[in-house]
Structure 1
Amino acid sequence: MMILRCVAIDDEPLALQLIQTYVARFPGLELVQVFEDALSGVEYLKQNSVDLLFVDVNMPDITGVELVRSLVTRPMVIFTTAYRNYAFESYELQAIDYLLKPIDYSRFAAAVERAIDFHKYKNATQEAINDESIYVYAEYKMIKILLRDIAYIESMGDYLKIYLAGSEKPILTLMTMKKVLEKLPETQFARIHRSFIVALGKIKSIHNRKVNLNNAELPIGDAYSSFINQQKGNVG
């Protein structure tokens, strides 16, 4: 069984005790150290390798955000805090999740399951990754997207909108087109415009330099006109 080595840092003893209680319910987690003193926690993390860090945001000596930024090698991070106003920092640092105190066990469990899943994803072979899913950071947490659900992706400057089949609301994530293309298998996705990537399996037709999907019509850019010839005979 895969075991994730964990550390918890919080200046509130009761908060640490709650995390210890919750972690004990997961056989796949090993809580190797807990710290009430953030600076001691930093020193430990700089000298020891761990997989997952639970860290309070608002601490007296150094904030959890500053602590994570100081680490050269960062484990997966789950922030815990009583304050919502640090959500953007957790987004910037791509934390696995952001838990508001008092932490409900079901919410804690969902965050841990996300960390376990992401750890498996990071350690899978590239072939296995391409056949199944990608991870992106959205809504202040790391989320898993099945490749088969993606209809198309639209670039919005430094952000991407990922449109899923059967869903009207896209997933908004801070990522470039270049970066997401590195995650997507070439056999399943193609860039057709400087602003669009399309899932080949979701194409219904190509006509007048436009790609038609179930609920969208996307332009084919001049630089990607060869896409039309490549797809002849592949779509109806």
Structure 2
Amino acid sequence: MNITCYIVDDEPGAITLLSEYIERTPGLELVGTALDPLVALDRLTGANAPDITFVDVDMRLLSGLELAGMVNLYTTVVFTTAFQEYALQAYEKEAFDYLLKPITYERFAKCIQHAKRKKKLSVKNNYPIYKDFFTIKSEIKGRVVKVKFDEVIYIEGAVNYIMVHTAEAKHMTYLTMKEIEQHLPKPLFARTHRSFLINVNFVKVIERGQVRMENGDTLALGGHYKQRFLDMMDEHLVRTERSALRPTGSGL
């Protein structure tokens, strides 16, 4: 299976060079490019995100560092930049690699070989374990709580703690939103706000920048999570095609 690649860079020449490198390298497939990081954002999240995304650090509107913080749970980020001083910040964003421009094919190939080894190891260790739950340390010392994914209505973040809301109880534990998000199945859970992760099966109403859940709680919908969430929910929208078939002058 090929490793899928995507390029985000506001310099067309940089995209051309990396595209040539990808096309000449066996086992790689270029699935898209973007000059605008805002355009790339939707493509880089969700189940169909590419395996590797090459991201320029210094871009207008949205920097590569900011973009990486939004997408690195979905795709492996490799930074590309002409400025070596960004290296520390890049690794703080959990970048897989850091390619300094002008990028040589030798350095590019070394990065890809590393990625291929990582992918083989991941496949080798991917035993068929069917897990429908996670466990967390309770606020009560010495207690560990098992929580099933389909019982979680939503998760609320509060600084270094999270509150897991289920129909039966609330569980507080010492975790960040990023840490818990890594252990949740992506199609079932979605971020609607920096403070909320929701189980989409419990969504009842979406209106006026808010999401009302089945248990009656109303949660904020905002920030850069809003449009991504709305687009995801729009995929489930039942549409009619009757308007296209309506007779002219029907008055309906």
TM-score when scaled to structure 2? 0.47
Which residue of 2 is the match for residue 73 of structure 1?
73
Contact 2:72 2:94 in 1 (8 A): no
**What amino acid does structure 1 have at the position aligned with 2:36?**
D
Divergent runs of 4+, >6 A: none
Shift of 1:126: 6.9
Which residue of 1 is the match for residue 29 of structure 2?
30
2:21 matched to 1:59? no
**What amino acid does structure 2 have at the position aligned with 1:14?**
G
Contact 2:49 2:74 in 1 (8 A): no
2:18 matched to 1:6? no
Which residue of 1 is the match for residue 89 of structure 2?
89
Contact 2:11 2:35 in 1 (8 A): yes
Structure 1: where are the runs of 5+ without partners? 128-236
* Residues 73 and 96 of structure 1, relative CA distance in 2, 3 Å threshold: closer
Moved more, 117-126 or 37-46: 117-126
- Alpha-carbon distance in 2 for matches of 1:70, 1:116: 24
Which residue of 2 is the match for residue 109 of structure 1?
109
Shift of 1:38: 0.8
SS at match of 2:44: helix
* CA deviation vs aligned residue, 1:125-169 (integer Å, no higher than 9, x gap): 279xxxxxxxxxxxxxxxxxxxxxxxxxxxxxxxxxxxxxxxxxx
- Alpha-carbon distance in 1 for matches of 2:80, 2:90: 10
Contact 2:10 2:36 in 1 (8 A): yes
Which residue of 1 is the match for residue 242 of structure 2?
none
2:16 matched to 1:17? yes
- Alpha-carbon distance in 2 for matches of 1:112, 1:88: 21
Structure 1 residues 1-236: aligned runs within 5 Å? 2-47=1-46, 48-71=48-71, 73-125=73-125
* Residues 52 and 72 of structure 1, relative CA distance in 2, 3 Å threshold: closer
**Matched residues, percent identical?**
41
Contact 2:45 2:74 in 1 (8 A): no
* Residues 93 and 123 of structure 1, relative CA distance in 2, 3 Å threshold: farther
**What amino acid does structure 1 have at the position aligned with 2:100?**
L
* Residues 99 and 51 of structure 1, relative CA distance in 2, 3 Å threshold: same
Matched pairs, number: 126
* CA deviation vs aligned residue, 1:90-129 (integer Å, no higher than 9, x gap): 21122221011011110111011111111112222279xx
* Residues 88 and 16 of structure 1, relative CA distance in 2, 3 Å threshold: same
SS at match of 2:99: strand
- Alpha-carbon distance in 2 for matches of 1:126, 1:9: 30
* Residues 72 and 123 of structure 1, relative CA distance in 2, 3 Å threshold: same
- Alpha-carbon distance in 2 for matches of 1:96, 1:73: 12
- Alpha-carbon distance in 2 for matches of 1:15, 1:112: 17
**What amino acid does structure 2 have at the position aligned with 1:18?**
L
RMSD between aligned alpha carbons?
1.7
* Residues 9 and 126 of structure 1, relative CA distance in 2, 3 Å threshold: closer
Contact 1:7 1:33 in 2 (8 A): yes
SS at match of 2:33: strand
Shift of 1:78: 1.0
Structure 2: where are the runs of 5+ without partners? 128-252
Which residue of 2 is the match for residue 134 of structure 1?
none
- Alpha-carbon distance in 2 for matches of 1:52, 1:72: 10
Contact 1:84 1:100 in 2 (8 A): yes
- Alpha-carbon distance in 2 for matches of 1:72, 1:33: 17
**What amino acid does structure 2 have at the position aligned with 1:79?**
F
Contact 2:19 2:30 in 1 (8 A): yes
- Alpha-carbon distance in 2 for matches of 1:77, 1:121: 18
Contact 1:8 1:55 in 2 (8 A): yes
* CA deviation vs aligned residue, 1:162-221 (integer Å, no higher than 9, x gap): xxxxxxxxxxxxxxxxxxxxxxxxxxxxxxxxxxxxxxxxxxxxxxxxxxxxxxxxxxxx
SS at match of 1:77: strand
Contact 1:11 1:37 in 2 (8 A): yes
